[in-house]
A and B are shown apart, each in its own frame.
Chain A
Amino acid sequence: MPISAQWRGWALAALVVVGLLVPFFIQDTYLRHLFIISYIYGVVAASWDLSLGYAGVFNFGHVAFFGVGVYATGLTAKLLGIDPWIAIVIGGVAASAVAAVIALPVVRLQGVYVVLVTFAFSQLILQLVISQSQFTGGTQGMVRVPTLRLPGYNFLRDYKFGYYYVAFALLVLTTICLRRIVRSDFGLSLKALRDNEDYGVSRGIPIGLQRLKVLVASAFFTGIAGGFYVVYLRVASPEVFDFSTASLVLSMVLVGGTSSIYGSIFAALGLTFISEGLANINGLGEGRFMLVAVAMVIVLLFLPKGLASLFTLKTRGRPSLEGKISGKF
């Protein structure tokens, strides 16, 4: 549909412009902080959508990749004194390397075993972080991570102006990469495997290799986001491996609708603002996670394609969640 594609292109360009202008209209440091956090979540949710929604690999350890990025960047920047810009990239590479390791059992397993192994794996990483407390700070967390530096520019005294643009650039670049991936031949082969594994394999798609690649790719963006997260907040805590973090990001993927990169990003924006807004209301600090949990169930019950499906008048042949993760289960 050329017309709607063109329309969508304009809409996205307009959104990018709006995103670029946000810091000029919003002077409040806290609001800018919310934008930054929501962009980070957007990257994590969208790249989870790549492996979960498009490839149908039910990888439960995605948030662990984020944690790996957080700690790899934090440790190299703090202990080895590596420039934080480079440390962020190291975070991405480390997450990818970990993803390659976890892919070894995952490509050989089916269905519920994928869930359980990735789940156990994220617990393994958490245990490693906690047990190596002389480096990672253990359950206390890691503090005083070096911040980003540019010659002649101070990231700490600009009311988060600079960080906003770094986060925004990260989100835009990730989105472009993810969209390119899902529209490439590689992305098509992932969808083919997801929708009909046997047929895909019989047409010569190397299933193990494709799953390995998709895990490595989705972990890379997530690790970068984790690296940026830690140099931005300057603290790392094992809470990033928490069940509540995982369910928050999962709810973003679900609310946005699986296998729609944009959906996850918008859901991440919306849910971050809602949940942070609720956190400021007295006594709702923990309750917001309860609301997120309820939202997840409601979406799964009534809107299996995510909130975005409310706005789509015609179904455009996009498979619903039922058709999504093929007969493996």
Chain B
Amino acid sequence: MTADTISAIIVSGLVLGSVYALMASGLSMIWTTLGIFNFAHGALMTLGAYVAWTISNSAGLGLGLAAGIAVSIAALIGAGILIERIVVRPFYDDRDILLITVMTTLATMIFLEKGIQLIWGARLKQLAPIIAGKVQLFRTTISAQETLIIVVAPLLLGALWLFLRHSRIGRGIRAVGQNPDAARLIGIDVSRLFITTFAMSAVLAGLTGVLLGSVRLLTPDFGDEPLVKALIIVIFGGLGSLSGTIVAAYLMGIVEAALTFFIGIYWAPSIVFLLLIIVLLFRPQGLMGKVAR
């Protein structure tokens, strides 16, 4: 194994890991706060990329990438709130909320994906990169956009961590995650925090889509693969721990890059899933997780 190989694996692992960490942290936030899984998370990512494309691309409105990203964020806040309102909120008092919302968010995902296909068609699209050009990282050359992903993801995640740790809303979100009844008792507006969480998580998904939309081609099922990977990461990392999720995301990125390098792109995903199932056989609570609630 030469230094070139190691460098290539680490760099592409970091790109993958950053994307996964952004996706998985949104899922993890919703899980910690609301105790549900949002299967529409991947479709939200796709939606973010398509909205940004429409606003920015010359085939769309041609208003530039900054406007595209801004509108995309706004749209995702709206979408997050709508999803929470329509398919999650009615079931808060149901003891099977987890099971029911798996189905309703799955329905939402289908609705969004097919809607995207109806509006934008199945033709491949690509966002303009935020930064053009190539960058040499260690001994590997990657596009500047991929470097941007590697840099932006930790910044966003760091900001998220600071927000959850120190801001009033963030502490509220964590309090609700730990004990919703007690949080309500001390005067926290739980239902508003649920909406905030959903909107924030949707924005994270949308930003992932915008960042990845110039590296990969946009299709209506653009978000499926990142969603599946994010689900696996959230299990690997242990449910309900943001730091565990982020560590697991980068670990998974590196492992996947190494597997792709050594055994090829066809077998790598299968091995990843197999590893997951084996890990769960021995550690049902995830690699770093505590026993789930």
Question: A residues touching B (Cβ–Cβ < 8 Å)?
Answer: 58, 60, 104-105, 108-113, 115-117, 119-121, 123-124, 127-128, 130-131, 243-244, 246-247, 250-251, 254, 283, 286-287, 289-290, 292-294, 296-297, 300-301, 321-322, 324-325, 327, 329
Contacts and interface: CB of A to CB of B under 8 A. Distances in A.
A104 to B, nearest CB: 7
A117 B280 contact: yes
Contact of B281 (A108, A120, A243, A296): A108
Interface in B126-140: none
The DSSP consensus for interface residues of chain B is helix
B274 interface: yes
Interface of B: 37, 86-87, 90-91, 94-100, 102-104, 106-111, 113-115, 117-118, 224, 228, 231-232, 234-235, 239, 266-267, 269-270, 273-274, 276-277, 280-281, 284, 292
Q: Most chain-A CB neighbours within 10 Å: which of B87, B234, B273, B274?
A: B273
Contacts of B103: 250, 254, 296, 300
Contacts of A120: 228, 231-232, 235, 273, 276-277
A250 to B, nearest CB: 6
Nearest to A254: B103
Contact of B114 (A58, A289, A329): A289
Nearest 6 pairs of A and B residues by beta carbon? A131-B266, A124-B273, A293-B107, A293-B111, A127-B269, A296-B107
Contacts, number: 130
A120 B102 CA distance: 14
Given A286-B114, A289-B110, A329-B95, A108 B284 contact: yes
Given A250-B103, A297-B87, A301-B90, A287 B114 contact: yes
A112 B280 contact: no
Nearest to B239: A112
Given A124-B277, A244-B114, A287-B114, A321 B87 contact: no
Given A131-B266, A292-B110, A112 B277 contact: no
Contacts of A247: 106-107, 110
A292 B110 CA distance: 9
